[in-house]
Each structure stands twice: as C-alpha cells, then as structure tokens.
Amino acid sequence: MTALFVYDDDCGFCTWWAEFFAEVTAVEIVAFSALDDSLRERLPDDYERCAHLVTEDEVYSCGEAIEQTFARSAIGRPAEPLIELFRQSALYEDVREGSYRQVADRRALWGKVLSRDEPDVGSG
C-alpha cells in the first residue's frame, strides 16, 4: 500500500502543501471530498480537524502526519537523524502538535500568502 496523505481540499493552503508533498514524495494525496468508506473508517472520528498520513499499519494525524510525510520526502530523508533525535525529547510531541495547531488554526491567514489558489496580497 502506498502511503496516503489525507487533507482538507476546501483549504487552499492545505491543498498547496498536499500538492507539494505529492511532488517530493511517493505519497499519494487524497482529499477529504474523495474519501471512500474504507479509508474514512481508518481515520479518527474528528478527521476533519487535521491532515493524516495513512500507511498499511498506521494512521498519523495532525503534526505527526506532517512530520512523517516530510520524513518521506527528498528533502526530509537527510534530516531523519535529526528528527529521530527530536523524537527522543519529552517535549517534542507537545512542540510538534502545538506548532501544527498554531498553523492549522490560522489557515485562512496563511492562505493569503501560500495557497493553491491565487494568494490574496491586496491591491496596494
């Protein structure tokens, strides 16, 4: 099974990241709107709260999904020893998930700068 990155396709910022991961990894992207019942059953009940990486054996959610997907990328693989070192810290999970929430809860703001859709940069 190819790893699947599951994301909110109603969010231009999320879509930009999903498409980026599709370019730099062997991960297949799957939009919330394209979920089938079998994949939806593997996700948490509140799956729309964040992104997920689904592998044959695991489902990673939120910050861990981004970390795991990044680690599978051409730019992330060389950083794997550093990521592994971070994982040994008792604070790492809280920092990773807190950082994810800080970004995810401000998707509309980030989408003005980085989005699959035309960024809203204002009219001067």
Residue 49, pLDDT > 80, answer: yes
Residue 117 within a domain: no
Q: How many domains does the chain have?
A: 1
Contact 110, 16 (CB under 8 A): no
Residue 120 within a domain: no
Average pLDDT, the chain: 89
Residue 102, pLDDT > 80, answer: yes
Q: What is the pLDDT of residue 91?
A: 95
Residue 22 within a domain: yes
Q: How many CA atoms lie within 13 A of 63 on its CB side?
A: 15
Residue 19, pLDDT > 70, answer: yes
Residue 122 within a domain: no
90 is in which domain, residue-wise? Answer: 4-111
Residue 70 within a domain: yes
Residue 31 within a domain: yes
pLDDT digits (tens, 9 = 90+) for 51-76: 999 999 999 999 999 999 999 998 88
Residue 123 within a domain: no
Torsion of CA 7, 92, 74, 106, to 10 degrees: 40
